[in-house]
A and B are shown apart, each in its own frame.
Chain A
């Protein structure tokens, strides 16, 4: 039992913090907010040079073989600077699903290119009617003589506009009809009859909705051999939630630091705001919730490879708890900044919006407390 950072982990944290503090300042964030791409290809290249894109990819395919704890260290630093590069979409979700579901050729074709920064991916799984239920998929992949034909609609595809290929989940219908299995299909974004409507994402970066109208794909578009991919999707989303939780911790820490400084400088009634006990106690609660969130993000990261129920409960518990902390810390940061907190003139609002996006992604606190409870009862009955 040891929760101290190793020397390598400490170095990773230092280099990530240095990068964010040096290159990802308020000016850069403002530029990104007005950039139609929502991120900087130059920064992406730097990520590749720093080895961050290779971080969780296995050594055999040009990666560094890092785990969820290392991803969390990186994501926390990203949160501090509101980094908007498509890291979760490409590296945490995309690379993980290729590695988990792909065959040797599919991995060889993509993982080294992800590591070197020349391939970006996205996952299109959520559908409007499913809300946050990962098991509900209405998109259909029909087996054809040449390969596959996909039809359906996906929403909230993180950074889909930036991707070279989108991994789309669909129910496999083979020659006998519905197979009861979900498959993952790699769809190049340039594919005809794939319509991408992309939008500015709350809190930075972009997302899109996609329409697949009889999209024709070759045989090898299906990842792996057609085993049901649902367990892999749940696994990957749990990993993504752990990573996003760490990012939220970084965002919250910056908000607490900023708000603390502000309450020391801002004077009303002839004394700093922080001279009031009601303000000090609020900040103490905020600091405490950041610490609880940090514990939960780390816990989820340490359990990403545990057996499925334990892993999923850790991920849902973290998502629910961190979401609750995030709302509190974000809303109170605005409250303590007074009227200025509600304007675009300070960055508090931008950090708050990213926290709201975090709580919304893959389902909010209420959804995940429910999932945690249901999984607990499954475990008891099993």
Chain B
């Protein structure tokens, strides 16, 4: 057993650091630090995706013949860790990490040839049409319907919590094409051009003051049958496959550590009257740091197991659950560390393009919005309650 990197891995680490130093601009860094939502807006996020793609690193998890870099687990770890440490933009994962693997796994040759290069290059910007107002945790009860009409489906219904629908030119969606004996039957996976007539998007502001999610309405929207991925009625299988990607790319601890470091830096600064000098704050920072250490070790154990072809099992639910809970602990701690300044809320967005002097120091601007928006971490991608159901069923057999 060995926690350290070998010579090749250290060379790769240098390569990643060199790439980041060359491509990450101060503007991108500042914009990322001042983004209190999950993903960077496309002006920042896609600039980074293009840089990654130029390097051949546009899609680390993809197979080589579709443009993946063929990294080992250790290399993926190094890449994610160095990226988090440097504060690179949070590229929207809907393309590379979500619809990409589904198209690779189940799409037609035409779909692969058309969509995959456009995901890599950032030419297409994707959003996910899964949840509906009546279908949250019970996702397979979804009602948005696609009715066959010649070579098209005609889609009616509505999707909600659609991240970046207001930026996206494409959506992958689960729609009901028939009613089967079980509610999971009769669901199909379709790719929708967001400029198709009949689609409208309504912004939803989250409690931190950010416009990241939307509700999308479909009113007799025509989508070619050729845009269906895989077989009709098998969408639930594809959708679940994708959810496993959403739950754990398996490397979250590095970002949590950077989040905690930002809070610790604030606690050590005169801006907070050195909050760290209060023993309860210092101890709570340690408690969160230790939780991150534990998550990091679990991630490394999983990566090691994957490297030798072992199946880590229901652990993606554990990783998702712990990541979300620790993230919330970090943001809660942040709001406590800044003391009275937690009373100030800056409504204007983006925070990196304010046209006025904010009421509190810039370093604190995202703290309260991140705490507030961060409540969503234990809800999206399967609530914590759903994850516990999965752990009980898959790990404990009950």
**Chain A interfacial positions (CB closer than 8 Å to B):** 1-6, 9, 69, 260, 263-264, 274, 277, 280-281, 283-285, 287-288, 291-293, 295-296, 298-299, 302-303, 314, 317, 320-321, 366, 369-370, 372-374, 376-377, 380
Contact check, A369 vs B286: say whether CB atoms are below 8 A apart.
Answer: yes
Contact check, A321 vs B291: say whether CB atoms are below 8 A apart.
Answer: yes
Is B293's beta carbon under 8 Å from chain A?
A: yes
Complex: how many Å from CA A317 to CA B283? Answer: 11
Smallest Cβ-Cβ distance to B395: which chain A residue: A287
Chain B 372-398 near chain A by CB (<8 Å), digits 1 or 0: 000000000000010011011001101
Measured between C-beta atoms, what is the minimum distance from B302 to chain A in Å? 9
Q: A291-B318, A296-B297, A299-B297 are known contacts. Are A285 and B388 too (CB-CB below 8 A)? A: yes
Q: A283-B398, A369-B290, A373-B285 are known contacts. Are A288 and B305 too (CB-CB below 8 A)? A: no
Taking CB atoms, residues of chain A closer than 8 Å to B286 are 317, 320, 369-370, 372-373, 376
Measured between C-beta atoms, what is the minimum distance from A45 to chain B in Å? 30
Contact check, B385 vs A377: say whether CB atoms are below 8 A apart.
Answer: no
Is B4's beta carbon under 8 Å from chain A?
A: yes
Complex: how many Å from CA A302 to CA B9? Answer: 19
Complex: how many Å from CA A9 to CA B285? Answer: 35
Is B161's beta carbon under 8 Å from chain A?
A: no
Smallest Cβ-Cβ distance to A256: which chain B residue: B396
- Which of B285, B293, B297, B304 lies in contact with A4, CB distance below 8 A? B304
Q: A288-B318, A320-B290 are known contacts. Are A3 and B388 too (CB-CB below 8 A)? A: no
Contact check, B398 vs A264: say whether CB atoms are below 8 A apart.
Answer: yes
Complex: how many Å from CA A280 to CA B396? Answer: 9
- Which of B1, B74, B279 lies in contact with A302, CB distance below 8 A? B1
Taking CB atoms, residues of chain B closer than 8 Å to A374 are 282
Contact check, B297 vs A284: say whether CB atoms are below 8 A apart.
Answer: no
Smallest Cβ-Cβ distance to A299: which chain B residue: B297
Q: A4-B305, A296-B294, A321-B294 are known contacts. Are A280 and B268 too (CB-CB below 8 A)? A: no
Contact check, A288 vs B392: say whether CB atoms are below 8 A apart.
Answer: no
Complex: how many Å from CA A149 to CA B327? Answer: 56
Is B77's beta carbon under 8 Å from chain A?
A: yes
Interface of B is mostly: helix
Contact check, A288 vs B297: say whether CB atoms are below 8 A apart.
Answer: no
Complex: how many Å from CA A3 to CA B308? Answer: 11
Smallest Cβ-Cβ distance to A272: which chain B residue: B398
Is B298's beta carbon under 8 Å from chain A?
A: yes
Contact check, B5 vs A1: say whether CB atoms are below 8 A apart.
Answer: yes
- Which of A3, A277, A287, A321 lies in contact with B290, CB distance below 8 A? A321
Complex: how many Å from CA A3 to CA B310? Answer: 13
Complex: how many Å from CA A317 to CA B279? Answer: 17
Complex: how many Å from CA A370 to CA B287? Answer: 9
Complex: how many Å from CA A302 to CA B4? Answer: 10
Complex: how many Å from CA A264 to CA B283? Answer: 39
Taking CB atoms, residues of chain B closer than 8 Å to A372 are 286, 289-290
Q: A295-B301, A370-B279, A377-B282 are known contacts. Are A4 and B308 too (CB-CB below 8 A)? A: yes
Contact check, B74 vs A1: say whether CB atoms are below 8 A apart.
Answer: yes
Q: A2-B2, A321-B291 are known contacts. Are A260 and B398 too (CB-CB below 8 A)? A: yes
Smallest Cβ-Cβ distance to A1: which chain B residue: B74
Contact check, B304 vs A1: say whether CB atoms are below 8 A apart.
Answer: yes
- Which of B294, B300, B303 lies in contact with A292, CB distance below 8 A? B294
Smallest Cβ-Cβ distance to B391: which chain A residue: A284
Is B251's beta carbon under 8 Å from chain A?
A: no
Contact check, A295 vs B391: say whether CB atoms are below 8 A apart.
Answer: no
Measured between C-beta atoms, what is the minimum distance from A99 to chain B in Å? 22
Is B3's beta carbon under 8 Å from chain A?
A: yes
- Which of B2, B287, B392 lies in contact with A283, CB distance below 8 A? B392
Contact check, A288 vs B398: say whether CB atoms are below 8 A apart.
Answer: no
Measured between C-beta atoms, what is the minimum distance from A375 to chain B in Å? 9
Chain B 236-279 near chain A by CB (<8 Å), digits 1 or 0: 00000000000000000000000000000000100000001001
- Which of B1, B268, B282, B305 lies in contact with A6, CB distance below 8 A? B1
Is B165's beta carbon under 8 Å from chain A?
A: no
